Amino acid sequence: MPELPEVETVRRGLEPAMTGHVIQTAHVNRPDLRWPFPPRMAERLTGARVLGLRRRSKYLLADLSTEETLLIHLGMSGRMLVSGATVGEFHHPHPMPEKHDHVVLEMETGARITFNDARRFGAMDLMATGADHPLLAALGPEPLGNAFDAAHLAARLVGRKGPIKTLLLDQRIVSGLGNIYVCEALFRARIDPTRAGGSLTDAEIADLVPMIRAVLTEAIAAGGSSLRDYRQAGGELGYFQHSFHVYGREGAPCPACATPIARIVQGGRSTFFCPACQC
C-alpha cells in the first residue's frame, strides 16, 4: 500500500494539472471501489474548480469550489495518473482507456486525471469542506509536522507493552507511517523492533523522531518506493527502494556491520532488521 512519501509524491505530481483548474467532465465508470461512491458523484464533480490539493496521512484531499472536498485513498494498487499535460520535464499524451480506469476527470485545460485501481481497494468520497470525515477523525499528527516531536511520542508510549514497530504503525499515534519506513527508521535509530514501546528511553525517542523525518524526506525526494503497483502521477517509478538498508533485504549483509538482515512477522506484517545493530 502506498505510504506517506508515495501519496505526497502523487499529490505534487497532480497539483499543477488540478489546482486552479475546472473539472470539465467527470466520468465514474462503476458504482464502487472498496466502498460505494457517493450519490451523483460525477454530477457533483463536473464543473467544480479545484481550489487546492492537500494530503492528510495517506489520503489525498481536493478542495472544490462547490464547498465540497474530494477524498481519495489509493488502496493497494490505485494510481492517479496525469495525461495530456506536462508533468515535470515530460509531456504525457492520453493513453488508450484501460479496464480498471474507474474514475476519469477531464480538466478544462485538456489534461486528464485517471484513477486506475486493479484490485479495487481504493476509495473516493465527497464531504463538506472542513468537516470531519470518519476516516480522518482519529488520525494522529503528521510525522513531518510540528505536532510530532519527541514529547508527543514519549507521551504516547508511556506504559505501552506492545512492540515499538507495531505502535509506530498505529495511525492514532502518528499518521502516514507504513511498514517500509518504520523498518528503515528503526534501523537508523538502532532500535530493536520487538522492544516494548514503553521501554524506550527519552534519549532513544529523541533520536528516533528525526530518523523518521529523515527517512520520509529522503523518500519523497526520490519519488517514493516502487515495489509492485505504485507509480508517480506521470507514470514514472519511484527510486527510494534502491536506498533500503533493511526492508526486503532478508539474508543480505547489513550495510553497517555485514550481519545478515533478519525477517520476523509482527502483527501480520514482515519486519526487517539487523540482529546485531538493533539488539
- Do 60 and 161 reside in the same domain of the chain? no
Catalytic residue, chosen from 2, 16, 141, 163, is 2
Is residue 259 included in any domain, yes or no?
yes
Q: Which residues of 130-156 are buried (b: 16+ CB within 10 A; e: fewer)?
A: eeebebbeebbbbbeeeebebebbbeb
Read off the pLDDT of each residue in 127-155 and give the average, rounded to a whole number.
Answer: 96
- Do 156 and 265 reside in the same domain of the chain? yes
Selected residue with higher pLDDT from 87 and 220 = 220
Is residue 134 included in any domain, yes or no?
no
User: What residue has cell string 512492540?
Assistant: 163
Decide which of 128, 158, 179 is a domain's last residue: 128
Predicted pLDDT of residue 225: 67
Read off the pLDDT of each residue in 193-206 and give the average, rounded to a whole number.
Answer: 98
Predicted pLDDT of residue 42: 98
2 catalytically annotated: yes
Predicted pLDDT of residue 230: 47
Residue 238's pLDDT band, with cuts at 50, 70 and 90, is low
Predicted pLDDT of residue 120: 93
**Burial class, 14, CB count within 10 angstroms (exposed 0-12 / middle 13-18 / buried 19+):** buried
Q: Is the confidence at residue 145, as pLDDT, over 80? A: yes
Percent of the chain with pLDDT over 90: 76
Q: Is the confidence at residue 250, as pLDDT, over 80? A: yes
Read off the pLDDT of each residue in 191-219 and give the average, rounded to a whole number.
Answer: 96
Is residue 267 included in any domain, yes or no?
yes
- Do 178 and 268 reside in the same domain of the chain? yes
- Do 228 and 191 reside in the same domain of the chain? yes
Predicted pLDDT of residue 265: 97
- Do 35 and 108 reside in the same domain of the chain? yes
58 catalytically annotated: yes
Quote the mean pLDDT of the chain. 91
Selected residue with higher pLDDT from 240 and 246 = 246
Catalytic residue, chosen from 55, 58, 112, 231, is 58
Per the structure, the complete domain to which residue 100 belongs is given by 4-128
The number of domains in the chain is 2
Phi, psi at residue 14, to the nearest 5°?
Answer: -80, -30
- Do 124 and 223 reside in the same domain of the chain? no
Read off the pLDDT of each residue in 96-116 and give the average, rounded to a whole number.
Answer: 92
C-alpha span between 268 and 209 (Å, rounded): 24
CATH of the domain at 217: 1.10.8.50
Predicted pLDDT of residue 173: 97
- Do 156 and 120 reside in the same domain of the chain? no
- Do 154 and 218 reside in the same domain of the chain? yes
Selected residue with higher pLDDT from 2 and 164 = 164
Q: Is the confidence at residue 62, as pLDDT, over 80? A: yes
49 catalytically annotated: no
143 catalytically annotated: no
Is residue 260 included in any domain, yes or no?
yes
Read off the pLDDT of each residue in 60-73 and give the average, rounded to a whole number.
Answer: 97
- Do 155 and 256 reside in the same domain of the chain? yes
Catalytic residue, chosen from 56, 160, 269, 275, is 269
Compute the 3-state secondary structure of the chain and give helix, strand, coil in percent, each to the nearest 5.
25, 25, 50
Decide which of 128, 162, 194 is a domain's last residue: 128
Per-residue cell: 249: 533485504
